[in-house]
């Protein structure tokens, strides 16, 4: 049995008791001159941005995050939010008003979930039979059943949940975290994005764009198939010192260019990206190579099974990246595959089959490695779905339209409670009514887990202070925290 | 704070109202109602609760409950207030936030006054208010006066005067002029996508003539590289691709390139944009053709050009020739996607939202959307749909057709002859075989052989089974290899003959079918299965105001409806408020990296406001007055101080981080195509061959997609990758753009994925780009080629080689320190490489490596990777 790499910096940080370890290492790094000044609003002189580790505003539990993002809007009442009333009135007329968004084929007929729910774990969290493996880690997760963003198209919803507001052009969550805290490894990008073999999700770079933050904070897309990162091998003639000589010369040339224009974030980011690329040649190959993972780990993630092979591999890679100090990893689906306007009955089981076992394995594996306490795992999309049928042309054809007034997501680790269900929707799973968590509350809480104050983590745009939660009445939802 | 400066965000735009300022219906209240209420209260067929909130005037009427909706001066008596305060309304949405409620309360308390006179009544549907009509982008384009000039040496053109006015307000000035080397590199890459040659640089530096710069600009505008560069920008806007997309198959679109070549030629010859747009929107109607009646027209070069131009309207993803789960939906999506392309490219509006419901942000009603669709409907025609292949039109001449028919006739005759030969051989074999059978079976077997298998009696079947080898009806090769070879040889004559047919050539046009005028109906909630009222073609109502005479379709003699021709002439007639603004804004963006309107595809209420509205109008006016000539506009823009200034202006970095005011040149990275083309050009490898079918791409064994052809085995694994020779080094605009298989280099450096088009490119700085420069074979090979070029041009002179490399790649000469650094690098690398080759001697028969050349190549690679090459200063 292989033990996790004991020497990784991430592990070192965790080996100390919480808080003390963080501060002690930050202190050591500072002594080494490795730690840059804390991020604060840039008001006057141009500043050089970097991804060196930075201390949080206050001690936080979380140090890394893996977001399993499910573009399209997973159906909460079929997965996370059981509503017996829907079954009872299945096919009857929905009594309330509904907002059908880009809906062709709307109907008002109640659509009871075709799937059964049962209590899981010692906490008794009710989960759908479509997610049997998640049931196995129910005692590790916090399930939020009262998410709300209030903007019901995919792009605006994605913007809200991923960039803080429904408007376009803003930095993604991962960019904010890496801007605020830097990276714990110098050998891999701070923010890595694992794409799906069938392509990027709808809206593509919106998922990992740095917006108006300096481009050093944008996500680096990793290909879905081998070679996952191209060009990691130097030409054999140049490998070793000849290439180091090239990089040293390149640095010297580029630094002189930058000196002519101090404060040019793009040039500075380009210089940093060469340094990173040089180190990635060895580190990325090792991090992305799962061949050394023992058989039981591969089986745990479902890599031996066709349906789960891709997602399992990517979840395992995500764990390996976090283990090596990467701050933020996003695992993406293609298109907006969770957007079941039709054919929900057949499509949802397939989608769940592909992600359930790997997602649960990720949580369990992080736990057994002692990394879950400091790693936030997030599973969710940009919206949820309506309690009524769409495309009412027979059971096979039924789907559900968009719903942003109530949807579910789960999180694990990093300071979130374990085995806990938060909030509730109305009896139809239509609108969040109890302990509503707006997307900005979620962001404020998440930053808090990382030791960041959402009002303080700011970037100055021509003297105007901009934050992730910008101008919204966000609150840290303390009830979610352990 | 909230009560003093209420910042209300309504799905994307921000309105601020100060407590000291009276609440305005148009500015403060109506946007809230439009976003949250009027969808059910006025815009749908049925009026929810009998309450119509589209006009202030309608709020005086009581709803179904009998309570007055708004009582001026009495918020507490108003139904509207009680509904929103209690949270009962909006029924399906986020409750209004307290600041919004306060605004509405204050407005009612102050008398609930409308800002402008309202109409007496409204037709059903969305209503365009006066304030929406007043949105800047819907106003007629005016020719504004040029502001009074600033310092004479900085105000070279009126453009500078407009910019100066804003800079001056902010206490900023333009940066000093860029030096000549920087400037010629900038303008050359900007206009041609390639760097200047060392000769061009030195000539410009040495040219003391007053018009030295203007001469350079004229030379660049006249070069074929200009068309290849600027056509690429337009191909982004129209969503050019060499594949059909949409369906999983992403089948090839083998004839799209004729449209690409048409665009390049139009840029090269500076075709006036009003003509260019009319041709692209209605070239078929100009040429007087309809579907299936193009044979004569395609033989006339001018008419053919017009037909090719309509490829513009065939750029949207179209999977209807491939297996699709819902074909009818697929057809409607082709139209919807094409309308997105047309509206974002020409109108700068996102009309797509209005497909399902009235646009929530812009004054575009669902009816507007379908009126726009009606302009294009006859050419698409969902009911009598034509797949991409069925829409093609052949370019064959009657002679070619006759030649092909004649060849086919001969080939068929040869094949008949080959069959006869084969039969004769087999019959001869049969005669030899049958004598091996027992006497008594021979006649019966002969009869069985002559009887088709399907008609065999049971006895005959048994007999054939008994003597299988005697049948000799096929498999001649098993009986007599020599005879078989003769038959094969004869057959291959037919194949060879067929190959001599004139190649079939096609155009991918958009045409209508004679006499077909399908009705356009509004689709309830965008669902093509729920067609409602029929609409006629027309302009968006917000543009077709009382003062503007919109277009009226007039049928054309060819049998086409003339809708697109009329629409195109209206768009380009000079009175349209959007088209010229959208175009010049895009041209400006390509020059400066940022548009005057920073959202080039959205001039609507959710888009950014122009940073310099008067400048935009002035440019649009000049553009139209100058005969819609893009080259004239280029001359104007590149002559400005704004364009010629340096990238360095420390004061401006802090004051204007986004560089919206242009107090410095906005340095930017070479885009994907310019990067690849410039590397090839510098290495002396660029193949200047213009036009024609795209260079194929495929996945190579390393997993990259590159120019070449991949041979796959049954599992889809690459077994062989065949590079296309010199075609691998043509300009990137000629590389196949398959939506599902983007070329790795271009993709790595942010070439767009066309879904359906690209309004503005992403520009990323990520490690895979750096890894590409460090290790990719394309860069290594190019560095080697550049090293060979240097050694050829400066034989034995390393100093000269280094200087030349700098000139080629950066237009600068290295200073002494840089030169020394280069000399050391080459010496050290040569030593390492020498040692490497001692340790790894070449395989037998392979040429010995030359460490000196390799070391120079190493240096070239560093220069190719450095920011002075990758960026345009």
Q: What is the pLDDT of residue A34?
A: 43
By the CB < 8 Å criterion, does B737 face chain A? no
CA nearest to B701, candidates B715, B685, B712: B712
Q: Which residue from B minimizes the CA distance to A167?
A: B12
Q: How close, in Å, is residue A36 to chain B by CA atoms?
A: 21
Tally of CB atoms within 10 A around B835: 12
CB B763 within 8 A of CB B870: no
Q: How close, in Å, is residue A102 to chain B by CA atoms?
A: 6
CB contact under 8 A, A274 and B774: yes
By the CB < 8 Å criterion, does B804 face chain A? no
Indicate if the alpha-carbon torsion angle B490, B496, B502, B507 is positive or negative.
positive
Q: In terms of C-beta density within 10 A (0-12 exposed, 13-18 middle, 19 or more buried), how is residue B165 classed? A: middle
Q: What are the sequence ranges of the domains in chain B?
A: 5-120, 272-395+510-577, 398-504, 775-872
Task: Compute CA distances B268 → A262, B216, B308, B621, B736, whole Å.
Answer: 39, 16, 17, 23, 21
Provide the percentage of residues in chain A whose pLDDT is more than 90: 73
Question: Rounded distance, CA A272 to CA A285, Å?
Answer: 19
Instruction: Please state the φ and ψ torsions of residue B514, each to the nearest 5 degrees.
Output: -45, 125
Question: Rounded distance, CA B795 to CA B459, Å?
Answer: 89
Provide the percentage of residues in chain A whose pLDDT is more than 70: 89
Question: Rounded distance, CA B577 to CA B604, Å?
Answer: 12
Average pLDDT of the residues in A131-138: 98
Q: Which residue from B minimizes the CA distance to A206?
A: B762
> Taking the mean position of all CA atoms in its chain, how far away is CA B143?
31
Q: Which two tokens stand for residue B241?
A: 């691709």
CB contact under 8 A, B753 and A45: no
Q: What is the pLDDT of residue B439?
A: 86
Q: How close, in Å, is residue A429 to chain B by CA atoms?
A: 14
B-interface mutation test, from A152, A200, A249, most B Cβ less than 10 A away: A249
Quote the DSSP letter at residue B125: S
Question: Rounded distance, CA B287 to CA B302, Å?
Answer: 8
Q: With helix as H, strand as E and coil as C, how does B400-431 read? A: HHHHHHHHHHHHHHHHHHHHHHHHHHHHHHHH
> Taking the mean position of all CA atoms in its chain, how far away is CA B399?
37
Q: Which residue did the predictor score with more confidence, B10 or A342?
A: A342
- Report strand pairing: B705-707 vs A402-403: unpaired
Please tell me whether residue B709 adopts helix, strand or coil conformation: strand
Q: What is the pLDDT of residue B289?
A: 96
Question: Rounded distance, CA B237 to CA A277, Å?
Answer: 33
Q: ω into residue B831 within 30 of 0, thus cis? A: no
Q: Which two tokens stand for residue B822?
A: 């280069």
Tally of CB atoms within 10 A around B708: 20
Q: How close, in Å, is residue A139 to chain B by CA atoms?
A: 33
Residue whose entry in the numeric block shows the structure tokens 């020719």: B143
Please tell me whether residue B340 adopts helix, strand or coil conformation: helix
Residues 311 through 330 of chain B touching chain A, CB cutoff 8 Å: none
Q: How close, in Å, is residue B833 to chain A by CA atoms?
A: 7
Please give the full DSSP string across A423-453, using - where no structure is assigned. Answer: -EE-TTS-SEEES-EEHHHHHHHHHHHTT--
Q: Which residues of A77-108 are buried (b: 16+ CB within 10 A; e: fewer)?
A: bbbbbbbeebeebeeeebeeebbbbbbbbbbb
Query: What structural domains does chain A harbor?
Result: 9-230+293-480 (3.40.720.10)
Instruction: Please state the φ and ψ torsions of residue A460, each to the nearest 5 degrees.
Output: -95, 125
Please give the full DSSP string across B249-284, using - where no structure is assigned. Answer: T--B-TTTHHHHHHHHHHHHTT--HHHHHHHHHHHH
Please tell me whether residue A412 adopts helix, strand or coil conformation: strand
Residues 199 through 218 of chain A touching chain B, CB cutoff 8 Å: 199-200, 204-205, 209, 212, 215-216, 218
CB contact under 8 A, A99 and B92: yes
A-interface mutation test, from B92, B340, B749, most A Cβ less than 10 A away: B92
Q: What is the pLDDT of residue B65?
A: 81
Q: Which residue from B minimizes the CA distance to A432?
A: B94
Question: Rounded distance, CA B315 to CA B761, Å?
Answer: 18
Instruction: Please state the φ and ψ torsions of residue A384, each to the nearest 5 degrees.
Output: -125, -155
pLDDT in tens, B748-788: 999 988 888 998 888 888 999 999 999 999 999 999 999 99
Mean pLDDT of chain A: 88
Q: What is the pLDDT of residue A14?
A: 39
CB contact under 8 A, A221 and B768: yes
Q: What is the pLDDT of residue A105?
A: 64
Low-confidence ranges of chain B (pLDDT < 50): 1-19
Residues 347 through 376 of chain A touching chain B, CB cutoff 8 Å: none
Q: What is the pLDDT of residue A305?
A: 96
CA nearest to A284, candidates A188, A182, A178: A188
Question: Rounded distance, CA B726 to CA B52, Å?
Answer: 68
B-interface mutation test, from A94, A226, A253, most B Cβ less than 10 A away: A253
ipTM given for this complex = 0.81
Question: Rounded distance, CA B813 to CA B198, Å?
Answer: 10
CB A314 within 8 A of CB A331: yes
Please tell me whether residue A135 adopts helix, strand or coil conformation: helix
Tally of CB atoms within 10 A around B796: 7
Indicate if the alpha-carbon torsion angle B551, B553, B557, B561 is positive or negative.
positive
Please give the full DSSP string across A340-356, using - where no structure is assigned. Answer: -SS-HHHHHHHHHHHHH
Q: Which two tokens stand for residue B558?
A: 């060819």
Indicate if the alpha-carbon torsion angle B211, B214, B220, B223 is positive or negative.
negative
By the CB < 8 Å criterion, does B76 face chain A? no
Q: Which two tokens stand for residue B222?
A: 């006249």
Residues 45 through 74 of chain A touching chain B, CB cutoff 8 Å: 45-46
Quote the DSSP letter at residue B673: H
Q: What is the pLDDT of residue B546?
A: 60
pLDDT in tens, A143-193: 999 999 977 688 889 999 999 998 878 999 999 999 999 999 999 999 999
Residue whose entry in the numeric block shows the structure tokens 């938060």: A422
Q: ω into residue B44 within 30 of 0, thus cis? A: no
Strand (E) positions, A63-105?
64-69
Among the partner-chain residues B702, B767, B866, the one whose CB lies closest to the CB of A250 is B866
Through-space distance between the first and last CA atoms of chain A, rounded to whole angstroms: 32
Please give the full DSSP string across B195-213, using - where no structure is assigned. Answer: PPPHHHHHHHHH--STTHH
Instruction: Please state the φ and ψ torsions of residue A432, each to the nearest 5 degrees.
Output: -65, 130
Among the partner-chain residues A104, A232, A249, the one whose CB lies closest to the CB of B527 is A104
Q: ω into residue B90 within 30 of 0, thus cis? A: yes
Residue whose entry in the numeric block shows the structure tokens 């919004």: B100
CA nearest to A120, candidates A418, A377, A368: A418
Q: Which residues of B230-269 are buried (b: 16+ CB within 10 A; e: fewer)?
A: bbbbbbbbbbbbbbbbbbeebbbbbbbbbbbbbbbbbbbe
Q: What is the pLDDT of residue B113?
A: 87
Indicate if the alpha-carbon torsion angle A358, A363, A368, A374 is positive or negative.
positive
pTM of the model: 0.81
pLDDT in tens, A65-88: 999 999 999 999 999 999 999 999
CA nearest to B791, candidates B833, B850, B863: B850
CB A408 within 8 A of CB A127: no
Please tell me whether residue A194 adopts helix, strand or coil conformation: strand
The runs of H, that is alpha helices, within B384-397 are 388-391
Cα atoms in the Cβ-side hemisphere of radius 13 Å centred on B691? 11
By the CB < 8 Å criterion, does B667 face chain A? yes
Q: Which two tokens stand for residue B72?
A: 């001026």
Question: Rounded distance, CA A202 to CA A157, Å?
Answer: 12
> Which residues have a Cβ under 8 Å from the Cβ of B555 and sit 6 or more positions away?
B561, B562
Q: Phi/psi zone of residue B581: left (φ > 0), alpha (ψ -120 to 50 degrees), beta?
A: alpha
Tally of CB atoms within 10 A around A256: 16
Above 50 in pLDDT, residue A26? no
Q: Which residues on A lie below 8 Å from B775 (Cβ)?
A: 231-235, 281
Q: Which residues on A lie below 8 Å from B658 (Cβ)?
A: 212, 461-462
CB B801 within 8 A of CB B794: yes
> Which residues have a Cβ under 8 Å from the Cβ of B488 and sit 6 or more positions away?
none
CB A148 within 8 A of CB A426: no
By the CB < 8 Å criterion, does A250 face chain B? yes
Query: Residue B481: enclosing H or E segment and its boundaries?
Result: helix B481-499
pLDDT in tens, B724-752: 999 999 999 999 999 988 999 999 999 98
Q: What is the pLDDT of residue B548?
A: 62
By the CB < 8 Å criterion, does B4 face chain A? no
By the CB < 8 Å criterion, does B702 face chain A? yes
CA nearest to B606, candidates B18, B31, B84: B31
Above 50 in pLDDT, residue A9? no
């Amino acid at each position: 049995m292989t033990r996790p790499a004991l020497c990784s910096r991430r592990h070192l940080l965790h080996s100390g008791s919480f808080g003390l370890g963080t501060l002690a290492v930050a202190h050591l790094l500072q002594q080494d001159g490795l730690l840059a000044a804390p991020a604060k609003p840039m008001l006057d002189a141009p500043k050089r941005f970097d991804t060196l580790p930075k201390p949080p505003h206050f001690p936080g539990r979380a140090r890394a995050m893996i977001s399993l993002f499910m573009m399209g809007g997973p159906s909460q009442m079929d997965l996370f939010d059981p509503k017996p009333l829907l079954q009872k009135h299945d096919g009857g007329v929905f009594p309330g008003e509904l907002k059908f968004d880009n809906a062709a084929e709307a109907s008002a007929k109640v659509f009871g979930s075709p799937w059964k729910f049962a209590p899981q774990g010692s906490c008794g969290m009710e989960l759908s039979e479509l997610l049997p493996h998640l049931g196995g880690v129910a005692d590790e997760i916090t399930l939020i059943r009262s998410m709300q963003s209030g903007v019901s198209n995919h792009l605006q919803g994605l913007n809200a949940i991923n960039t803080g507001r429904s408007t376009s052009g803003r930095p993604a969550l991962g960019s904010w975290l890496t801007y605020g805290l830097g990276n714990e490894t110098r050998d891999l990008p701070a923010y890595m994005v694992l794409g799906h073999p069938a392509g990027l999700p709808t809206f593509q770079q919106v998922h990992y764009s740095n917006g108006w933050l300096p481009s050093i904070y944008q996500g680096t897309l990793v290909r879905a198939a081998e070679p996952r990162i191209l060009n990691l091998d130097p030409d054999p003639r140049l490998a070793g010192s000849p290439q180091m000589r090239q990089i040293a010369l390149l640095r010297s040339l580029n630094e002189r260019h930058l000196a002519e224009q101090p404060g040019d974030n793009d040039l500075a980011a380009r210089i940093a990206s060469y340094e990173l690329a040089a180190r990635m040649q060895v580190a990325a190959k090792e991090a992305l190579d799962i061949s050394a993972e023992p058989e039981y780990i591969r089986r745990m993630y479902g890599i031996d099974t066709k349906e789960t092979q891709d997602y399992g591999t990517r979840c395992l890679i995500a764990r390996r990246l976090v283990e090596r100090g990467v701050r933020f990893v996003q695992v993406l689906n293609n298109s907006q595959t969770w957007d079941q306007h039709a054919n929900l009955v057949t499509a949802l089981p397939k989608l769940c089959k592909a992600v359930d076992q790997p997602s649960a394995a990720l949580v369990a594996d992080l736990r057994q490695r002692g990394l879950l306490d400091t790693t936030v795992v997030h599973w969710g999309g940009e919206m949820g779905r309506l309690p009524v049928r769409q495309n009412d042309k027979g059971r096979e054809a039924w789907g559900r339209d968009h719903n942003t007034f109530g949807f579910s997501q789960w999180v694990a680790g990093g300071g979130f409670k374990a085995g806990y269900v938060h909030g509730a929707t109305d009896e139809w799973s239509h609108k969040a009514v109890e302990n509503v968590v707006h997307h900005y509350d979620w962001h404020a809480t998440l930053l808090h887990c990382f030791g960041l104050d959402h009002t303080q983590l700011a970037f100055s745009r021509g003297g105007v202070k901009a934050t992730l939660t910008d101008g919204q009445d966000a609150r840290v939802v303390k009830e979610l925290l352990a | 704070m909230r009560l003093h400066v209420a910042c209300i965000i309504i799905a994307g735009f921000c309105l601020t109202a100060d407590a000291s300022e009276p609440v305005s219906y148009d500015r403060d209240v109506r946007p809230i109602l439009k976003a949250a209420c009027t969808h059910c209260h006025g815009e749908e067929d049925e009026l929810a609760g009998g309450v119509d909130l589209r006009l202030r005037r309608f709020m005086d009427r009581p709803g179904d409950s009998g309570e007055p909706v708004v009582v001026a001066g009495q918020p507490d008596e108003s139904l509207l207030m009680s509904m929103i305060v209690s949270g009962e309304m909006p029924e399906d949405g986020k409750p209004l936030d307290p600041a919004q409620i306060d605004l509405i309360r204050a407005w009612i308390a102050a008398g609930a006054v409308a800002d402008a006179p309202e109409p007496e009544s409204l037709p059903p549907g969305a209503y365009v208010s006066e304030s929406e009509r007043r949105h800047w982008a819907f106003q007629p384009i005016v020719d504004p006066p040029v502001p009074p000039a600033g310092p004479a040496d900085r105000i070279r053109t009126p453009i500078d005067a407009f910019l100066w006015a804003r800079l001056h307000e902010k206490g900023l000035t333009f940066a000093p002029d860029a030096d000549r080397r920087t400037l010629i590199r900038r303008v050359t890459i900007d206009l041609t996508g390639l760097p200047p040659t060392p000769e061009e640089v030195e000539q410009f530096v040495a040219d003391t003539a007053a018009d030295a710069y203007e001469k350079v600009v004229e030379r660049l505008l006249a070069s074929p590289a200009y068309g290849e560069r600027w056509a690429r920008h337009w191909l982004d806007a129209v969503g050019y691709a060499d594949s059909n997309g949409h369906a999983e198959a992403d089948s090839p679109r083998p004839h799209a390139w004729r449209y690409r070549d048409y665009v390049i030629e139009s840029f090269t010859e500076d075709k006036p944009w009003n003509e260019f747009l009319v041709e692209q929107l209605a070239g078929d109607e100009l040429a007087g053709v309809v579907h299936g009646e193009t044979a004569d027209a395609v033989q006339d070069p001018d008419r053919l050009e017009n037909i090719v131009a309509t490829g513009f309207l065939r750029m949207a993803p179209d999977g209807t020739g491939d297996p699709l789960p819902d074909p009818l939906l697929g057809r409607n999506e082709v139209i919807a996607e094409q309308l997105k392309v047309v509206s974002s490219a020409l109108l700068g509006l996102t009309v797509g939202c209005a497909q399902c419901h009235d646009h929530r942000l812009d004054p575009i009603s669902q009816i507007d959307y379908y009126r726009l669709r009606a302009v294009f409907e006859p050419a698409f025609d969902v009911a009598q749909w034509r797949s991409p292949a069925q829409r093609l039109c052949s370019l064959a001449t009657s002679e070619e057709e006759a030649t092909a028919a004649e060849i086919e006739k001969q080939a068929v005759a040869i094949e008949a002859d080959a069959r006869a030969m084969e039969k004769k051989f087999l019959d001869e074999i049969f005669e030899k075989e049958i004598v091996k059978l027992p006497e008594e079976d021979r006649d019966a077997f002969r009869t069985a052989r002559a009887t088709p298998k399907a008609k065999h009696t049971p006895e005959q079947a048994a007999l054939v089974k008994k003597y299988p080898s005697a049948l000799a009806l096929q498999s001649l090769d098993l009986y007599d290899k020599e005879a078989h070879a003769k038959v094969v040889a004869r057959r291959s004559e037919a194949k060879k003959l067929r190959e001599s047919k004139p190649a079939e050539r096609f155009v991918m046009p958009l045409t209508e079918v004679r006499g077909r005028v399908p009705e356009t109906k509004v689709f309830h909630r965008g669902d093509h299965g729920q067609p409602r009222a029929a609409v006629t073609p027309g302009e968006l109502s917000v543009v077709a105001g009382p003062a503007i005479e919109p277009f009226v379709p007039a049928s054309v003699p060819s049998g086409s409806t003339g809708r697109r021709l009329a629409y195109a002439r209206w768009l380009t007639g000079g009175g349209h408020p959007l088209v010229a603004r959208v175009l010049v804004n895009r041209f400006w963006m390509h020059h400066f990296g940022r548009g005057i309107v920073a959202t080039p595809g959205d001039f609507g209420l959710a888009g950014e406001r122009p940073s310099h509205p008067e400048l935009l109008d002035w440019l649009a006016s000049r553009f139209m007055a100058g005969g819609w000539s893009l080259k004239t506009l280029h001359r104007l823009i590149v002559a400005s101080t704004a364009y010629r200034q340096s990238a360095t202006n420390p004061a401006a970095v802090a004051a204007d981080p986004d560089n919206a005011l242009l107090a410095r040149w906005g340095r930017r990275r070479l885009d994907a195509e310019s990067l690849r083309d410039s590397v090839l050009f510098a290495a002396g490898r660029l193949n200047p061959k213009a036009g024609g079918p795209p260079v194929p791409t495929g996945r190579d064994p390393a997993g990259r997609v590159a120019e070449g052809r991949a041979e796959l085995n049954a599992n889809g694994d690459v077994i062989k990758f065949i590079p296309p020779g010199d075609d691998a080094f043509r300009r990137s605009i000629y590389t196949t753009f398959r939506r599902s298989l983007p070329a790795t280099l271009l993709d790595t450096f942010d070439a767009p994925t066309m879904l359906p088009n690209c309004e503005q490119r992403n520009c990323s700085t990520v490690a895979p780009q750096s890894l590409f420069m460090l290790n990719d074979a394309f860069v290594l090979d190019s560095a080697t080629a550049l090293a060979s070029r240097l050694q050829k041009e400066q034989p034995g002179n390393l100093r000269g080689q280094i200087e030349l490399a700098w000139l080629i790649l950066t237009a600068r000469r290295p200073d002494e320190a840089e030169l020394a650094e280069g000399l050391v690098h080459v010496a050290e690398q040569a030593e390492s490489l020498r040692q490497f080759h001692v340790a790894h001697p070449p395989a037998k028969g392979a040429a010995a490596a030359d460490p000196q050349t390799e070391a120079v190549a190493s240096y070239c690679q560093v220069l190719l990777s450095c920011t002075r090459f990758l960026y345009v200063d």
